[in-house]
């Protein structure tokens, strides 16, 4: 019986090595998470910069096209002021239609967000 007990390795050095390795592993994981976070932040900043530049380019293109529309419509309306009002009203109507479409697309009930995938769709057949 004593030969079995003496052949086993001592537990304290193994526990000490385990804790040391665990601390190193946790530290390495935290370092990796920090590096991944910094890469993610840089990508997000780059995406925001590209989005702002794209939005500025889109707005500029829209203004240029509106000005071209005013110049093109000026002969038909008699002067540039009336043509500008017509183009402005047309753009306003387009924006209102887009806002109306957006509000209809974004309308849902709160419970449908949670339960729509948990239950099967209702049977839409009318009773006879």
- 77-113 pLDDT per residue, tens: 999 999 999 999 999 999 999 888 887 777 665 555 5
Does position 56 have pLDDT exceeding 80, yes or no? yes
Does position 116 have pLDDT exceeding 80, yes or no? no
Alpha-carbon span 43 to 102, nearest angstrom: 29
Of 89, 58, 57, 86, residue with least CA distance to 70: 86
CB within 8 Å of 84: residues ≥ 6 apart: 70
CB within 8 Å of 88: residues ≥ 6 apart: 66
DSSP tag of 78: S
Does position 33 have pLDDT exceeding 70, yes or no? yes
Alpha-carbon span 62 to 64, nearest angstrom: 5
Please report which confidence band the pLDDT of residue 122 belongs to, taking 50, 70 and 90 as the band edges: low
Alpha-carbon span 63 to 70, nearest angstrom: 11
What is the number of residues in the chain? 128
Alpha-carbon span 121 to 6, nearest angstrom: 68
């Amino acid at each position: 019986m004593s030969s079995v007990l003496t052949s086993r390795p001592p537990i304290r050095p193994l526990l000490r090595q385990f804790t040391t390795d665990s601390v190193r592993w946790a530290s390495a994981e935290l370092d990796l998470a920090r590096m991944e976070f910094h890469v993610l932040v840089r990508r997000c900043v780059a995406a925001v910069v590209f989005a702002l530049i794209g939005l500025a380019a889109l707005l500029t293109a829209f203004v240029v096209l509106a000005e071209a529309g005013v110049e093109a419509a000026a002969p038909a309306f008699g002067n540039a002021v009336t043509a500008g009002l017509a183009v402005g009203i047309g753009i306003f109507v387009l924006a209102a239609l887009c806002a109306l479409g957006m509000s209809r697309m974004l309308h849902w009930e709160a419970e449908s967000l949670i339960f729509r995938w948990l239950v099967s769709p209702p049977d839409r057949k009318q009773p006879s």
